[in-house]
């Protein structure tokens, strides 16, 4: 299965859902923090989710429950750059266990992972959007109900094509 993403919609099979992308649009990702959603073809590496917010998540991809001490390193100075980490942590990182709902479900895309290049960009996810579909820091964001529906269809071979 292929999933297509443009600046307004994510499309798969016979479904077309509204999405938000990075504040500076889709393009060639230059560096960490540039607010660009990377153009290219990616796969979903794994799924992270809040068990306390999502009763049941049917998936063909490995799922991990987000715990209070989990984060994602976005500090190029760390050996754990662009990786899942546990707090306490001495480098810049994003908390995954949040009070807002945007990280209730996270599809981790394989952007900048094999190999990881320092400062090329990290934490490129498909996650839950806020109600206004505000621009992201470079991720793709969907309504929670749309994301739950999408998760049922994807597998390790699914290609996410961002253009």
> To 5 degrees, how large is the angle CA 155–CA 24–CA 112?
40
Q: Check whether 116 has a pLDDT greater than 90.
A: yes
pLDDT digits (tens, 9 = 90+) for 142-154: 999 999 999 999 9
- What is residue 55's predicted lDDT score, i.e. its pLDDT? 87
Please state the rounded mean pLDDT for residues 7-14.
Answer: 96
pTM exceeding 0.75 = yes
Read out DSSP for 50-77? -TTT-S----SS-EEE--TTEEEE--TT
Query: Please, what's the b/e burial string for 59-73 (b: 16 or more CB within 10 A of its CB; e: otherwise)?
Result: bebebeebeeebbbb
- What is residue 91's predicted lDDT score, i.e. its pLDDT? 98
pLDDT digits (tens, 9 = 90+) for 56-106: 999 999 999 999 999 999 999 999 999 999 999 999 999 999 999 999 999
Domain 2-162 homologous superfamily, CATH: L,D-transpeptidase catalytic domain-like (2.40.440.10)
- What is residue 162's predicted lDDT score, i.e. its pLDDT? 98
> Residue length, the chain?
163
């Amino acid at each position: 299965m292929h999933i297509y993403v443009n600046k307004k919609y994510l499309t798969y099979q016979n479904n077309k859902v509204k999405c938000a992308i990075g504040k500076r649009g889709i393009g060639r990702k230059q560096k960490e923090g540039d607010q660009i959603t990377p153009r290219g073809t990616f796969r979903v590496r794994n799924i992270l989710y809040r068990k306390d917010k999502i009763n049941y998540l049917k998936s063909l991809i490995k799922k991990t429950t987000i715990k209070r001490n989990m984060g994602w390193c976005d500090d190029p100075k760390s050996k754990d750059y662009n990786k899942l980490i546990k707090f306490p942590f001495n480098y810049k990182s994003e908390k995954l266990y949040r009070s807002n709902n945007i990280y209730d479900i996270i599809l981790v895309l394989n952007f900048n992972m094999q190999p990881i290049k320092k400062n090329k960009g990290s934490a490129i996810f498909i996650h839950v959007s806020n109600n206004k579909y505000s621009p992201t820091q470079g991720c793709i964001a969907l309504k929670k109900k749309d994301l739950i529906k999408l998760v049922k269809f994807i597998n390790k071979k699914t290609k996410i094509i961002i253009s």
